[in-house]
Every structure is written in structure tokens, then in C-alpha cells.
């Protein structure tokens, strides 16, 4: 393919390797280069890119790489002011859409890196109407498949991006904002709805950001210069044509409402561009929530998602983003009091907890008066007073829903079944007084008497599954409580096994006679030695009355038993020495443990 440029050069490029090589050669400047030669190199580079962009720069990434090569070259390193002015002139004068595509992309990238270049209204005034014409071009977005977009749509995306950067940096007055007519604002909202299903979301988000920037311009321009002008001027909302367009389009901007929340949810507060977008979005939300005609602009489900975003950002924003936190708090109050959420109790306890966390612990950290004032405004609303009164009435603190105080109140509200226990239920089989270590070391006289009563009284109380019977563990036969109650035993002789205090002497601490204790112990021993046969007679046999074999009582321990000691392998002792006589001499030798083989004589 041959191309001709104004400087009289003709290029014929066959492949991508040759294309990128020609671009690099174009950016190599000679040692002594005049200003006209510099201008010629810039225009030659733009001409090469615009001619072959469909073949070798089909994607946004490749086009951006080619433009970045130009901005990183010696042309902009040493002559950036002259080159940027030349780009603006060519963008206004050149009507070739392919050349405009490269020029607009280069201007957009250079303006993002040099905001001072965007602040000059005098330089950008001739280009703004051309950019608006690219936005007003009619495009059928339903025919766009995948990420492949026609050049008109690509020009529209770049034009919207440049207009957003200009409106974000510059400050327009009322006269300067007249260029953005009502029909142009309606077209922006229509394009947001039309590009809803486009795979490439860049154009849709760029349109929304442009609307947010224009809303900021109308808000600032409507502010009065002094108090006298404030009295003579009307409300700033009535002069905000972006807000008026939203009121007129009530119910017809569903995508705009949804994508604002989506962009806030996906924004990164550490990114400068996302931070600016968040501030712009919160400002238009504040206007929508404080205007009577647009207070219910969003659906209830979208408002719930917005509350979740607010709670997350208020909790996660660092101390360096205090201005952004204040903006969230300013919008939070009308969001909860003027919208449908005033009648929908969505996460109100968590909202109160999050707001209180912003002003708690003032003794260990600094809390600005603005933060405290904005939080008190939110907590002073009617819905917040109801939540706090309910939680005070329930005895819960205004802390976290999962705080220890809240969990303790929840645990105390769980009903626990009442079990009435008696000493007969805790006594061992036979009604004895042997108790486990878990019982009290001392008892009153009434407790000991009830424990020493016959076992038939214990059977009248059904055992509870929640209690563990404190009986001594054993490995012998099961003891029948029925046998213990029906068997009559001979009482022990007086004074058997008792100290010298006497049977009638009361214990000074327990208030029970030692004779009663001895009787109870004797009944326990006799009942433990009796077991009934399985026949229906119920009378014990003489063999059953015989004393049982010695039982090994086991004690439960939470520790693992010690391993047995290792069996020592003792070395065998050597054999004793045996004296022998040879040739009149006594020789001491060691006897062999194994006999020597017999010697056969020849």
C-alpha cells in the first residue's frame, strides 16, 4: 500500500514488523532539526498510524501503544508545548475520521498526564463543538458484535472521554455551559440506555462519568458569589439542567441508576481517577435524595445494595480519606430518611453500630468535629432513635450485633429445663453415704438423713438423664436396688467400728449421730454383696449370700496409664575358672559353655 504525505514521501508497508520499524525510524530525530522538520515528523507519524490502523492497530491496546510511543519520544520530551498545540490545531482542521481517531487518542493520553494542558478554555473552545458532533452521530449499537466497534463508535468513545476530562478539570460559568443544550443532555441519557448491552463497557461508563461531571459544573455555576446574589438568585436545583433532565425522564433511566451503584461498588478509593468518580457520583446522589421529585428515583433493591456499599466504605476508608468519608455521611442521612428505606428496616442495627464506631474511643484517637456532627445527624433520625430504644429496652448495649453483651443476652433468653434433684438420686446403690468428689464436702443433717433413708424412697423419683449418678465404679455383678430394699439385715452390735465418742453423741459440724452413720454404712455393705437371680421367686440362694470374690476397683483418670517398665536383658555371667595340671604346673582356664567335640584317635 502506498501513501503520500505533504512532505513528499511515499511508503509501501507489507507487514506489521515493517510498520513498527517505520514508526521507530520516524521518531528518530537528526542532530540539527528545524521546527518545520519537527512538525513534519509529528504529522508523518500521525499519517502512518491513521493509514494503517485498521490493519496493524485494530485494538485499543495497540492504538494506545502507538500513541504512547509518540508521547515518550524526543518530540514531546523537548517540545511538548509546541507538539500539543499542533495536535489541537490538526484535530480541529483535519476532517479525516481515521486521522481524528489517532489525534483524539493522543490528546486524551497527553491530557491525563498533564492536567494543565486541559485547563486552558481558550485552547479547547474550538474543539469542544467537534467533540459534541461525534457524540451526536447516530449509531445502531444492536449490530455491534463482540468488541469490534466501527470507527464512528470509537470516535464517540474518545470524544466522550475528552469531554469528561475537560469538564472535570475546567470551571465553566453559566455562559460557557450554554453550549451543552438540553437536547445534548437528553442524548447522553439515551446513549446510556442504548449501550446497555454492548460488550465493551467503556462507552457506557464514559457517558455516565460525563453526565456526573456536567452535573458538578451546573452545581458550581449555580452557587451565588455573595449573599446579595444568593437572595436575588433562585434555587440552584432549578438551574441544574442535568437534574431537570432526570426529573423529566422519571422511570426512563434504569441503566443510569443501576450503573452508578455498580461503579461505586467497583471503585478503588486508592485510585485517583476512581476517587474523583466517587465524589462526583455522591454529589448527584445527594441531589436526587434531597429533591422531592427524585427521592424515589432508585428501586428499593438498588437502595439496599447502596446501603451495603456505604457500610463497607465507611468501615474500610483510611484516615487519609476523611473528606470522602464526610461525603458518604452527608449522603447517608437523606438516603435513609427520604427514600423508600424510611419504611424498609434494612440492616438498621448494623448501620447504628457502624456509625457509632466512627465516633467511639475518642480517648485514644482524634475524631474531627465534622465527623462527629455528621454521625450525630444520622443517629438523630427517627429510625435510629427507634432502634436504640428497642435495644435499650431489651437490655442490650449499643455495640456490635455479635458483641459479648449481645451474645450473653441471647444465651440468657434460651429456656433451660429445671430438674429437681434429691440426695437419694445422688446416693450410691443401697442408700449409702459414699459420695463422689463432685459433691459437697459438708452437708446438713436433713441431707444426711435423706441419704441414709431406705432405697425405696429413691425409687420413687425418676432418674434424670441430665444427672450422673455418683456411685462407686466396680467390675462385679450389678447390684439390684430392689434386693437392697427387700432384704432385711441384722444391725451391727453397738459400738462396732465407731470412735470413742459414743453412739448418742452428735457430730459437732454435721449435726447427725454417728450411730445413724454406722447403720447406713452397714446397709450399703450388705446391699453391695447381694445379687438376685433371674427367676421369678426373688429369694436369694445360699450361694448368693456367700461373700463375693475380691473385686478390683477401678478409678477413672483422664490421663493415659503409664507404660510397663522395659524388660532388662541382663548379660550372662561368665563360667567359673577350672584349674588344670600340666607337667607339674597348675593352669587356670575358663570352662567352655559348650562341650568340645570328641577327638578320634587313630
Q: Which helix (H) or strand (E) holds 2?
A: strand 2-4
Q: What is the CA radius of gyration of the chain?
A: 49
Confidence band of 361 (pLDDT split at 50, 70, 90): confident
- On the question of pLDDT at 208 being above 80, the answer is yes
**How confident is the model over 151-164, as a mean pLDDT?**
94
Backbone angles phi and psi of 574, in degrees to 5 = -70, 155
- On the question of pLDDT at 5 being above 50, the answer is no
**How confident is the model over 18-39, as a mean pLDDT?**
90
Classify burial at 90, counting beta carbons within 10 Å of its beta carbon; exposed 0-12, middle 13-18, buried 19 or more: buried
Confidence band of 379 (pLDDT split at 50, 70, 90): confident
pLDDT at 197: 86
Confidence band of 46 (pLDDT split at 50, 70, 90): very high
Q: What is the rounded CA–CA span in Å between residue 164 and residue 212?
A: 9
Classify burial at 333, counting beta carbons within 10 Å of its beta carbon; exposed 0-12, middle 13-18, buried 19 or more: buried
Nearest to residue 33, comparing CAs of 22, 48, 44? 44
The pLDDT tens digits for 406-457 are: 433 333 333 444 444 444 443 444 444 444 444 444 444 444 444 444 444 4
- On the question of pLDDT at 510 being above 60, the answer is no
**How confident is the model over 247-270, as a mean pLDDT?**
88
352/12: higher pLDDT: 352
pLDDT at 75: 92
**How confident is the model over 262-274, as a mean pLDDT?**
88
**How confident is the model over 381-400, as a mean pLDDT?**
64
Dihedral (Cα; 12, 17, 21, 22), 10-degree rounding? 20
Q: Count of residues for the chain?
A: 602
pLDDT at 272: 86
pLDDT at 441: 42
Q: Which helix (H) or strand (E) holds 553?
A: none
Taken in order 167, 172, 174, 178, the sign of the CA dihedral is negative
| Strand, coil or helix: 8 | coil
| Strand, coil or helix: 159 | helix
Confidence band of 348 (pLDDT split at 50, 70, 90): confident
Lowest-confidence range among 32-36, 376-380, 396-400, 407-411? 407-411
Return the percentage of the chain with pLDDT > 90, whole number: 33
- On the question of pLDDT at 500 being above 80, the answer is no
Taken in order 42, 44, 50, 55, the sign of the CA dihedral is negative
Cα atoms in the 13 Å half-sphere on the side-chain side of 2: 4
pTM (predicted TM-score): 0.64
214/426: higher pLDDT: 214
The pLDDT tens digits for 103-125 are: 999 999 999 989 889 988 889 99
* Domains in the chain: boundaries: 254-408, 426-497+510-525
- On the question of pLDDT at 403 being above 70, the answer is no
- On the question of pLDDT at 171 being above 80, the answer is yes
Q: What is the rounded CA–CA span in Å between residue 243 and residue 249?
A: 10
The pLDDT tens digits for 177-201 are: 999 999 999 999 999 999 988 888 8
384/135: higher pLDDT: 135
10/101: higher pLDDT: 101
The pLDDT tens digits for 550-584 are: 444 545 555 667 777 666 556 666 666 655 555 55
pLDDT at 412: 39
Amino acid at each position: 500500500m502506498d501513501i503520500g504525505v505533504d512532505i513528499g514521501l511515499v511508503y509501501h508497508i507489507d507487514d506489521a514488523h515493517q510498520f513498527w520499524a517505520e514508526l521507530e525510524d520516524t521518531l528518530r530525530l537528526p542532530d540539527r532539526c528545524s521546527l518545520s522538520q519537527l512538525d513534519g515528523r509529528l504529522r508523518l507519524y500521525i499519517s502512518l498510524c491513521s493509514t494503517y490502523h485498521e490493519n496493524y492497530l485494530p485494538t485499543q491496546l495497540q492504538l494506545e501503544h502507538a500513541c504512547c510511543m509518540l508521547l515518550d519520544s524526543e518530540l514531546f520530551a523537548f517540545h511538548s508545548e509546541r507538539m500539543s498545540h499542533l495536535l489541537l490545531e490538526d484535530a480541529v482542521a483535519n476532517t479525516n475520521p481515521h486521522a481524528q481517531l489517532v489525534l483524539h487518542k493522543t490528546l486524551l493520553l497527553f491530557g491525563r498526564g498533564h492536567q494543565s494542558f486541559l485547563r486552558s478554555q481558550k485552547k479547547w473552545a474550538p474543539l469542544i463543538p467537534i467533540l459534541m458532533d461525534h457524540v451526536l452521530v447516530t449509531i445502531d449499537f444492536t449490530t455491534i458484535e463482540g468488541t469490534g466497534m466501527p470507527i464512528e463508535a470509537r470516535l464517540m468513545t474518545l470524544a466522550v472521554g475528552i469531554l469528561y476530562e475537560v469538564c472535570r478539570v475546567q470551571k465553566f460559568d453559566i455562559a460557557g455551559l450554554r453550549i451543552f443544550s438540553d437536547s445534548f443532555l437528553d442524548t447522553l441519557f439515551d446513549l446510556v440506555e442504548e449501550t446497555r448491552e454492548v460488550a465493551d463497557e467503556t462507552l457506557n461508563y464514559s457517558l455516565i462519568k460525563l453526565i456526573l461531571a456536567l452535573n458538578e459544573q451546573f452545581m458550581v455555576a449555580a452557587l451565588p458569589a455573595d449573599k446579595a446574589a444568593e437572595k436575588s438568585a433562585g434555587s440552584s436545583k432549578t438551574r441544574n439542567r442535568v437534574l431537570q433532565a432526570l426529573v423529566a425522564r422519571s422511570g426512563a433511566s434504569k441503566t443510569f441508576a443501576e450503573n452508578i451503584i455498580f461503579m461505586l461498588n467497583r471503585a478503588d478509593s486508592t485510585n485517583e481517577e476512581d476517587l474523583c468518580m466517587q465524589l462526583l457520583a455522591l454529589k448527584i446522589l445527594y441531589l436526587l435524595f434531597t429533591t422531592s421529585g427524585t427521592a424515589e428515583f432508585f428501586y428499593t433493591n438498588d437502595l439496599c445494595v447502596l446501603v451495603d456499599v456505604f457500610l463497607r466504605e465507611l468501615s474500610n476508608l483510611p484516615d487519609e480519606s476523611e473528606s470522602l468519608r464526610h461525603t458518604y455521611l452527608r449522603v447517608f442521612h437523606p438516603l435513609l430518611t427520604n427514600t423508600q428505606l424510611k419504611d424498609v428496616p434494612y440492616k438498621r442495627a448494623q448501620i447504628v453500630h457502624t456509625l457509632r464506631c466512627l465516633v467511639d474511643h475518642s480517648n485514644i484517637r482524634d475524631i474531627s468535629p465534622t465527623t462527629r456532627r455528621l454521625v450525630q445527624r444520622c443517629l438523630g433520625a427517627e429510625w435510629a432513635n427507634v432502634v436504640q430504644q428497642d435495644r435499650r429496652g431489651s437490655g442490650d448495649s449499643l455495640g456490635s450485633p455479635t458483641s459479648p453483651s449481645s451474645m450473653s443476652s441471647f444465651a440468657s433468653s434460651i429456656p433451660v429445663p429445671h430438674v429437681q434433684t434429691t440426695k437419694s438420686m445422688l446416693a450410691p446403690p443401697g442408700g449409702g453415704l459414699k459420695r463422689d468428689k463432685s459433691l459437697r464436702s459438708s452437708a446438713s443433717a436433713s441431707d444426711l438423713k435423706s441419704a441414709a433413708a431406705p432405697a425405696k424412697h429413691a425409687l420413687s423419683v425418676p432418674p434424670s438423664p441430665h444427672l450422673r449418678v455418683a456411685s462407686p465404679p466396680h467390675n462385679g455383678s450389678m447390684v439390684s436396688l430392689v434386693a437392697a430394699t427387700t432384704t432385711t439385715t441384722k444391725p451391727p452390735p453397738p459400738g462396732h467400728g465407731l470412735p470413742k465418742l459414743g453412739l448418742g453423741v452428735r457430730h459437732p459440724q454435721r449435726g447427725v449421730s454417728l450411730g445413724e452413720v454406722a447403720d447406713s454404712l452397714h446397709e450399703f455393705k450388705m446391699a453391695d454383696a447381694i445379687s438376685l437371680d433371674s427367676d421369678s421367686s426373688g429369694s436369694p440362694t445360699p450361694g448368693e449370700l456367700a461373700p463375693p470374690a475380691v473385686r478390683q476397683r477401678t478409678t477413672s483418670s483422664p490421663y493415659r496409664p503409664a507404660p510397663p517398665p522395659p524388660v532388662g536383658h541382663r548379660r550372662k555371667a561368665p563360667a567359673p575358672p577350672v584349674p588344670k595340671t600340666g607337667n607339674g604346673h597348675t593352669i587356670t582356664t575358663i570352662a567352655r559353655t559348650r562341650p568340645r567335640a570328641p577327638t578320634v584317635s587313630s
